[in-house]
Amino acid sequence: MSTQTPPGIGHGFGLRKLLIIASWLAGSQIIGRAFIVFDDADLAEQSLGLLTWGLLFEVISWAAVPIFTWYFVYLIKRGCALRQLFLWTVVLAAVSEIPYDLVSEGSFFSLASQNPVWALAMSIILLTAIQYTQPLPQLARIVILVCVFAAAVFWLILLSIGVRLGIAPLGVLVIGFFFIFYYLWDQENRMMLSTGGFGAVMFMTPGIGVVFLHYRAPLIQQDTLVSRIWMWCYPIVLGVAGLVFYFFT
């Protein structure tokens, strides 16, 4: 696949190509779900071969996490208001919840795991807390931020935000990537090394997603922003796939 983009931003992956790659990677979760049947039978009684394929595609989908998280940070760096981005993120997370449960758990409602978009909303809350507490005395700021971050961790654990297979905390992964990208934005080598290492430690495949970011166009910050319409593909595709799995498997 060619990585050439319009001359205005140089050679490499532009915004649209990165989002297309991330979408295909995320879609692997749906393919993986097709190999696993949710019924009264225990998973241990299902075909080992099918479970292996399902697990493989599920793990591949995690490579999309750093790309989507990077794009949210990109929007902030391009001047998108945090309040506006937060509201859109909450709406997207809420709309995506039932489709996510259908695909992940085979039911219209489940508390086993919540979709990872909520972790993006939490990242924005944490960033806002950091910014708003800057004028405060150091001790007061530390106390407030410790409380806010502790509440965030509690929320992630209590609601199992982005937890996959009962062990992979994609919600924690999102927040980690978010702050690494945000604070190392102007330090390319450190940012890529830090996110690549973080992704590799967190079940390896997220580190692969960072590789695509490494080959993004050098002037990508001048690229045309993608329409908000693309974000609705997430709940729509999950919803269609979830309904198919629910009624026909």
For residue 5, pLDDT over 70 is answered with: no
CA pair distance 125, 100, nearest whole angstrom: 23
The answer to whether residues 36 and 54 touch, using CB atoms and an 8 Å cutoff, is yes
Confidence band for 120, pLDDT divided at 50, 70 and 90: very high
- Interior angle at CA 204, CA 57 and CA 29, nearest 5: 20
More confident site: 220 or 44 = 220
- Interior angle at CA 214, CA 213 and CA 217, nearest 5: 80
Residue 80 to residues 76, 77, 86, 116, 216: CA-CA distances in angstroms? Answer: 5, 7, 10, 21, 21
Q: What is the pLDDT of residue 6?
A: 47
Q: What is the pLDDT of residue 84?
A: 93
Burial state string for 113-133 with b = 16 or more CB within 10 A and e = fewer than 16: bbbbbbbbbbbbbbbebbeeb
Stated pTM of the model? 0.89
For residue 9, pLDDT over 80 is answered with: no
For residue 43, pLDDT over 80 is answered with: no
Handedness of CA 209, 214, 216, 219 (dihedral sign): positive
Rounded mean pLDDT, 173-196:
93
Residue 152: CB partners within 8 Å, gap ≥ 6? 122, 125, 126, 175
The answer to whether residues 33 and 244 touch, using CB atoms and an 8 Å cutoff, is no
Q: What is the mean pLDDT of the chain?
A: 86
Collapse the DSSP code of 72 into the 3-class scheme (helix H, G, I; strand E, B; otherwise coil) and give the result: helix
